[in-house]
């Protein structure tokens, strides 16, 4: 096997990839440079990561300075100044009453960390029987065993099915095309879908349930926007039964829905929020789990010299990542990025929905600067049409993403109407060319 093809790419059709590799060698602002010298307009902000644009000068400078000042410091029983400062900034941005921040290195680690904190919390309060975790069909919480178990994307679960966590169940998903196709923003229909939690509470007995984890807007499954009132209803049912509500905001935090968190945008405060991606603008891998004060306090028991939560990563609060995070949060503030994203949203909404009449389009969904165009699958080849559109756009100089036959969009928080027009013109032509 040739060593120049030693790299096993994640979530990639590897054999097809190496027949015509797509290799990025540089980036600045809203554009990538490829190894064959082309400029590509990035319509996906990295991988939902880089809302401020690539190689943001202030983030680059902060990381450069940090690497020459403190490269790494032990993270257990000792920490570094940047991690402390970043936790303070994240807590300041978080909903009121959520003031404790646990650092991870990815969204997957954030999901597993949140689930473990939920289990530990109940046990610390003498409710150790609350072990059942509830996810949702079509949910994505990364690829580690916890997140995979509560996740609900069949293709991700299939091969690992027998090794998934026991005691997990799933709410039904919230997509019902007959009731909500082509909704702009939040569908008006569907708040009652949250009542599915009542069904699971009755089935398993609510006293056995530790937590429910959902993405406020489901991303990787193809942009499923919560029906109006759905998240509020979920919160009410969790409160009724003492179940913790976890929002997986790995995508939705830090401006993607025009607010610091989806919790703020939808006016629903969960008990735990998981983040990653936009925390550092994707510059250095990092995630953060933000926890309601009472959860942390419940765990602060026993002799003071004993570790309270047996969990953590060598790189939790890594100084380079924390420096990138501090510069990123400062840039969001200075550039008023969240309000800007909110300002771009109506233009984005109008443009994405203008593709309604393109061939094979069966639904269009959007919220904040997240958007999905669902195409009818080719007979006998699910995902093929979406992949072809992705390739056509790439060849035409625009990067989007396809999750199966759902084309996905995640433009920069300060996208211009001209850039959005170029993205959607390119996509329209690509859809036509593969019709
Ligand atoms: C909602 C959500 N949770 C978790 C993850 C996993 O993040 P990572 O790939 O950084 O492990 C993702 C990644 O897209 C995500 O969208």
Contacts of 414 (CB under 8 A, 6+ apart): 52, 53, 335, 337, 340, 341, 344
What residue has token string 């609900």? Answer: 152
Contacts of 245 (CB under 8 A, 6+ apart): 211, 212, 214, 234, 235, 238, 270, 271, 272
Same domain, 392 and 423: yes
Pairing of strands 287-292, 98-104: antiparallel
Final residue before a domain boundary, out of 334, 359, 389? 334
Task: Quote the radius of gyration of the chain (alpha carbons, Å).
Answer: 21
Q: Which of 299, 315, 334 is the last residue of a domain?
A: 334
Give the integer Cα–Cα distance in Å for 164 and 146: 8
Ligand 1, residues at Cβ distance < 6 Å: 106-108, 111, 140-142, 215, 219-220, 248, 250-251, 276
Residues 29 and 65 in one domain: no
Query: How many degrees, rounded to 5, is the angle at CA 143 between CA 139 and CA 144?
Result: 115
108 CA from centroid of ligand 1 (Å):
6
Q: How far is the CA of 107 from the centre of ligand 1 (A)?
A: 4
User: What does the H/E/C string look like for the chain?
Assistant: CCHHHCCCCCCCCHHHHHHCCCCEEEEEECEEEECCCCEEEECCHHHHCCCCCECCHHHHHHHHHHHHHCCCCCCCCCCCHHHHHHHHHHHHHCCCCEEEEEEECCHHHHHHHHHHHHHHHHHHCCCCCCCEEEEECCCCCCCCHHHHHHCCCHHHHHHHHHHCCCCEEEECCCCCHHHHCCCCCCCCCCHHHHHHHHHHHHHHCHHHEEEEEECCCECCCCCECCCCCHHHHHHHHHHHHCCEEEEECCCCCCCCCCCCCHHHHHCCCCCEEEECHHHCCCCCCCEEEEEEHHHHHHHCCCCCCCCCCCCCCCCCCCHHHHHHHHHHHHHHHHCCHHHHHHHHHHHHHHHHHHHHHCCCEEEEEEECCEEEEEECCECCECCHHHHHHHHHHHHCCEECEEECCEEEECCCCCCCHHHHHHHHHHHHHHHHHCC
Residue position matching structure tokens 């396809």: 402
Residue corresponding to tokens 């800007």: 340
What was the pLDDT predicted at 2? 79
Distance 26 CA to ligand 1 centre (A): 24
Which residues contact residue 168 at a Cβ distance below 8 angstroms, ignoring those fewer than 6 apart? 132, 133, 134, 135, 149, 150
Please identify which residue in the block is written with the tokens 């650092």.
103
All residue ranges of the chain with pLDDT < 50 are none
Report the separation in Å between the CA atom of 274 and the middle of ligand 1, taken as the mean of its atom positions: 10
Phi–psi pair at 53, nearest 5 degrees: 95, 165
Atom of ligand 1 nearest to the CA of 277: 10
Measured distance CA(18)–CA(290) in Å, rounded: 40
Residue whose Cα lies nearest atom 7 of ligand 1: it is 107
How many other CB atoms are found less than 10 A from the CB of residue 72? Answer: 12
CATH of the domain at 426: 3.90.1150.10
Structural domain count, the chain: 2
Ligand 1 center–CA 217 separation, angstroms: 13
30 and 146 co-located in one domain: no
pLDDT at 196: 98
Mutate to test the pocket of ligand 1, among 104, 136, 140 (most ligand atoms within 8 A of CB): 140
Q: Are residues 297 and 356 in the same domain?
A: no
Tell me how far the alpha carbon of residue 213 lies from the centroid of ligand 1, in angstroms.
13
- Residue of 48, 49, 113, 141 to mutate, ligand 1, most atoms within 8 A of C-beta: 141
Cβ contact 67:280 at 8 Å = no
User: What's phi and psi for 295, nearest 5 deg?
Assistant: -70, -45
Report the C-alpha gap between 317 and 84 in whole angstroms. 8
Task: State which ligand 1 atom lies nearest to the alpha carbon of 274.
Answer: 3
State the pLDDT at residue 1: 76
CATH number at residue 260: 3.40.640.10
Whether the Cβ atoms of residue 260 and residue 93 lie closer than 8 Å to each other: yes
Query: Cα(1) to centroid of ligand 1, in Å?
Result: 31
The protein residue with its alpha carbon nearest to ligand 1, atom 8, reads 107
Distance 370 CA to ligand 1 centre (A): 15
CA distance 94 to 101: 10
From residue 148, alpha-carbon distances to 137, 145, 155 in Å are 11, 5, 11
On whether both 34 and 68 belong to a single domain, the answer is no
Closest atom of ligand 1 to CA, residue 218: 1
Residue 7 and residue 68 in one domain: no
Query: What integer pLDDT is reported at residue 325 of this predicted model?
Result: 99
- The pair of structure tokens assigned to 106 is 């990815």
Residue labelled with tokens 């904040």: 368
Q: What is the CA(141)–ligand 1 centre distance, in A?
A: 6
**Cα–Cα distances in Å, from 280 out to 33, 49, 66, 218?**
21, 8, 14, 21
Give yes or no: residues 300 and 350 share one domain.
no
CA of 120 to the centre of ligand 1 (A): 23
* In a shared domain, residues 138 and 239: yes
Q: Ligand 1: which of 139, 250, 273, 278 to mutate, most ligand atoms within 8 Å of CB?
A: 250
Residue 252 alpha carbon, nearest atom of ligand 1: 1
Residue ending a domain, choose from 290, 313, 334: 334
- For residue 253, how far is its CA from the centre of ligand 1 (angstroms)? 12
* Closest among 336, 325, 134, 358 to 246, alpha carbons compared: 134
Query: Ligand 1 pocket: which of 220, 226, 272, 315 to mutate (most atoms <8 Å of CB)?
Result: 220
Residues 429 and 286 in one domain: no
Quick one: 107 and 36 in the same domain?
A: no
Q: Which domain holds residue 22?
A: 3-55+336-433
Question: What ligand 1 atom has the least distance to the C-alpha of 109?
Answer: 11
Ligand 1, atom 3, residue with closest C-alpha: 141
**Number of residues that this document lists for the chain:** 435
Distance 214 CA to ligand 1 centre (A): 12
Contact 259, 369 (CB under 8 A): no
Both 47 and 83 in a single domain?
no
Do 75 and 89 belong to one domain? yes
Model's pTM, two decimal places? 0.98
Give the position, in ligand 1's atom list, of the atom nearest the Cα of 108: 11
* Assigned token pair, 422: 């170029």
State the pLDDT at residue 275: 99
């Amino acid at each position: 096997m040739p060593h120049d093809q030693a790299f096993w790419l994640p979530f990639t059709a590897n054999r097809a990839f190496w027949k015509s590799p797509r290799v990025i060698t540089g980036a600045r602002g809203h554009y990538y440079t490829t190894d064959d010298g082309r400029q590509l307009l990035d319509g996906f902000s990295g991988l939902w990561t880089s809302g401020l644009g690539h190689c943001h000068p202030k983030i680059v400078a902060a990381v450069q300075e940090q690497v020459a000042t403190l490269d790494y410091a032990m993270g257990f029983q000792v920490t570094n100044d940047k991690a402390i400062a970043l936790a303070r900034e994240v807590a300041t941005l978080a909903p009121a009453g959520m003031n404790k921040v646990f650092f991870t290195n990815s969204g997957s680690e954030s999901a597993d960390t949140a689930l473990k904190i939920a289990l530990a919390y109940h046990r610390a309060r003498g409710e150790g029987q609350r072990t059942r975790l509830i996810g949702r069909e079509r949910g994505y919480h990364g690829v580690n065993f916890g997140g995979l178990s509560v996740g609900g994307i069949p293709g991700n679960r299939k091969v690992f099915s027998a090794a998934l966590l026991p005691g997990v169940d799933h709410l039904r998903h919230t997509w019902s095309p007959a009731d909500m196709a082509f909704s702009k923003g939040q569908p008006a229909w569907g708040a009652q879908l949250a009542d599915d939690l009542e069904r699971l509470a009755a089935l398993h007995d609510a006293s056995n349930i530790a937590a429910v984890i959902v993405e406020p807007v489901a991303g990787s499954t193809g942009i499923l926007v919560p029906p109006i009132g759905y998240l509020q209803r979920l919160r009410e049912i969790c409160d009724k039964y003492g179940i913790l509500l976890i929002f997986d905001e790995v995508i939705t935090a830090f401006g993607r829905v025009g607010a610091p968190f989806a919790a703020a945008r939808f006016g629903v405060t969960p008990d735990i929020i998981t983040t990653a991606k936009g925390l550092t603008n994707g510059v250095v891998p990092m995630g953060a789990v933000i926890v309601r004060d009472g959860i942390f306090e419940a765990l602060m028991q026993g002799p003071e010299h004993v570790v309270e939560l047996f969990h953590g990563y060598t790189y939790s609060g890594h100084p380079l990542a924390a420096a990138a995070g501090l510069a990123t949060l400062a840039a969001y503030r200075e550039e008023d990025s969240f309000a800007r994203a909110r300002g771009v949203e109506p233009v984005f909404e109008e443009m994405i929905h203008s593709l309604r009449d393109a061939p094979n389009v069966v639904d269009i969904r959007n919220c904040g600067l997240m958007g999905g165009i669902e195409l009818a699958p080719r007979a006998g080849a699910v995902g093929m049409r979406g992949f072809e559109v992705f390739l056509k756009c790439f060849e035409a100089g625009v990067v989007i993403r396809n999750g199966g036959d759902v084309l996905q969009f995640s433009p920069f928080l300060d996208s211009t109407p001209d850039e959005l027009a170029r993205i959607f013109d390119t996509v329209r032509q690509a859809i036509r060319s593969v019709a």
